[in-house]
Amino acid sequence: MKIDLISIKSLGEIKRDKDVSSWLRSEEIKVNFFDGKPLPFIITIEEDIEQDIDSFIIKKIDLAVQSFLNLDSKYRENISELVYENYKEMLDESDIEPLDVKEKSDIWKYVHPKEIYISQRGKRGRGDEDIYVKISCKCDWEEEHGLQLVFKKGEKITRVSSQDGDLTT
């Protein structure tokens, strides 16, 4: 059964993506983490578990999104070290030109968020069944793979890495 539309309190109506059939996409929502920048939220659905989206899962998604939307630029500044470390690793391993980063929080000038993905792990015995909020970003130090910021239950950063699709390390 294909789900073409669901309603989630924090995101409104989410519709089937016209380009990727396993995605449900929201309109752009202002994100406090990035000073109110509007970004779309995308719920990723594995085709064979789509029928498992029920009111319980929708509630878990809504709680994770609400938690994430409560994170602000102060929280972002508090995790600058993690993003800076990602940049520093790339700088040490490649021949990229150093960026103008005098303080670790300056690294955010080089991060460009594009979309926010909502995923659930744990189907078919692959770990916990928590909801993860993942910000997909372009960044000036890793043009090919970009940057992803992963938040377990939308509450706490759990991973900073190049975009490889993994939610945990």
- Asked whether residue 153 carries a pLDDT value surpassing 90, the answer given is yes
- Asked whether residue 46 carries a pLDDT value surpassing 60, the answer given is no
What is the C-alpha separation between 52 and 38, in angstroms, rounded?
A: 29
- Asked whether residue 66 carries a pLDDT value surpassing 90, the answer given is yes
Contact of 53 with 1, CB cutoff 8 Å: no
What local confidence, expressed as pLDDT, does residue 49 receive? Answer: 47
pTM over 0.85: yes
For tokens 């609400």, the residue is: 66
What local confidence, expressed as pLDDT, does residue 48 receive? Answer: 44
Q: pLDDT higher for 104 or 44?
A: 104
Contact of 14 with 26, CB cutoff 8 Å: yes
Amino acid sitting at position 84: Y
Contact of 138 with 112, CB cutoff 8 Å: yes
Could you tell me the two tokens for 145? 């793979």
Mean pLDDT of the chain: 89
- Asked whether residue 52 carries a pLDDT value surpassing 70, the answer given is no
Could you tell me the two tokens for 123? 């189907």
- Average pLDDT in the 41-53 region? 66
- Average pLDDT in the 81-95 region? 95
What local confidence, expressed as pLDDT, does residue 57 receive? Answer: 86
